[in-house]
């Protein structure tokens, strides 16, 4: 079974802090994705990556950056957390560009105070 894990289920940070959200997948998938999910807005794509050291902006990249130094790991970084970044963050991976069934991690509920 594909397993996608995220470093924390719940996280509380202060405004202005730098926040790292880690995601690891164990099935050698090429593609990895970061979404945030908010009530009434659904899942919105923040960043995605097709390969190591590659990154592409999604629909809402502002205020975020990402890092993919190893194939299995995709990190989402909030350089200076703000209260409007309080959300559920979901990581996903898929095998390849033309095989886009995505497998999701359990999510990280981030609260910025």
Partner 1 sequence: GQNIDQPTEMTATEGAIVQINCTYQTSGFNGLFWYQQHAGEAPTFLSYNVLDGLEEKGRFSSFLSRSKGYSYLLLKELQMKDSASYLCAVHSKANQAGTALIFGKGTTLSVSS
Question: Does the protein bind partner 1 through residue 57 (CB under 8 A)?
Answer: yes
Cα–Cα distance, 74 to 61 (Å, whole number): 15
Question: Does the protein bind partner 1 through residue 107 (CB under 8 A)?
Answer: yes
Among 24, 64, 85, 105, binds partner 1 (CB under 8 A): 105
- Complex with partner 1: residue 17 or 51, whichever CB lies closer: 51
Report the nearest approach of partner 1 to the CB of residue 16 (Å).
Answer: 28
Cα–Cα distance, 25 to 21 (Å, whole number): 14
Secondary element (H or E) of residue 47: strand 42-49
The answer to whether 23 touches 91, Cβ cutoff 8 Å, is yes
HSE at residue 65, side-chain half, CA atoms within 13 A, is: 6
- Complex with partner 1: residue 48 or 64, whichever CB lies closer: 48
Binding-residue total with partner 1 (CB under 8 A): 24
Cα–Cα distance, 21 to 7 (Å, whole number): 7
The DSSP letter of residue 94 is E
- Complex with partner 1: residue 41 or 113, whichever CB lies closer: 41
Question: Does the protein bind partner 1 through residue 87 (CB under 8 A)?
Answer: no
Which residues contact partner 1 by CB under 8 A? 33, 35, 40-45, 48, 50, 56-58, 90, 97-98, 100-107
């Amino acid at each position: 079974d594909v397993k996608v894990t995220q470093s924390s289920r719940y996280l509380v940070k202060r405004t202005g802090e730098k926040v790292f959200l880690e995601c690891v997948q164990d099935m050698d998938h090429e593609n990895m994705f970061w979404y945030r999910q908010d009530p009434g807005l659904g899942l919105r794509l923040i960043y995605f990556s097709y390969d190591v050291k590659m990154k592409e902006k999604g629909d809402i990249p502002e205020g975020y950056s990402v890092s993919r130094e190893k194939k299995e790991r995709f990190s989402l970084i909030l350089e200076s957390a703000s209260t409007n970044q309080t959300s559920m963050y979901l990581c996903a991976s898929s095998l390849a560009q033309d095989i886009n069934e995505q497998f999701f991690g359990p999510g990280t509920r981030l609260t910025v105070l």
